[in-house]
Amino acid sequence: MGQYLPIVVLTALAVVFGVLSLVASKLLAPRRPNSAKDAPYECGIVPSRESPERFPVSFYVVAMLFIMFDIEIIFAYPYAVAHETLGAFGFWEMIAFSAVFFVTFVYVVARGALAWGPAKKESKVADVNLIPDVRAGVKVVGLDGRTTPVVQEVGAA
């Protein structure tokens, strides 16, 4: 039991420090509420009106996915240290544990939780040829900075 004494003392000191910090902040903190302190603050931008749309749920899904992968890593470290003593049972348990998280990740990606912002449409890049194209009496000219080529009849004045 004596070998756990330093851990117990450190835990007790951490709890005492946490409680004393909370009590001291409640007793010593100034209490001067005003509208500026009660207003929401984000990146230095003062909101002029209420947000027109709700915060996207996909943000929370990604945050939960991040926490899940953190938990997986936390459980992978002890396995990496003691994989020889755990044997095949430990290996298959880690495979099953990782498979659950991988299936969850695939599900979240398939549902579009990682697709942020407006959908980007593919736009075809115009096939710009520096040599004038002459086909069936039509010459394509003036492609510099234009999205659609200007067509001019060959021989037209």
- Residue 22's pLDDT is 95
* 3-state SS assignment for residue 41: coil
Architecture of domain 56-117: Up-down Bundle (1.20)
Q: Where are the alpha helices (DSSP H) in the chain?
A: 5-28, 35-38, 57-110
Distances (CA, A) of 33 to 30, 37, 39: 9, 6, 11
* Closest to 25 measured CA to CA, from 17, 33, 37, 13: 17
Which residue type does 91 have?
A: F
| Sequence ranges of the domains in the chain | 56-117
In this predicted model, what pLDDT tens digit does every residue of 46-62 receive, in sequence order?
A: 666 666 666 667 778 77
In this predicted model, what pLDDT tens digit does every residue of 65-103 receive, in sequence order?
A: 888 888 888 888 888 999 899 899 999 999 998 898 888
d(CA 154, CA 136): 9
The pTM assigned to this predicted structure is 0.39
- Tell me which range, 107-116, 137-146, 147-156, is most confidently predicted by mean pLDDT: 107-116
Q: Provide the mean pLDDT of the chain.
A: 76
- Residue 31's pLDDT is 84
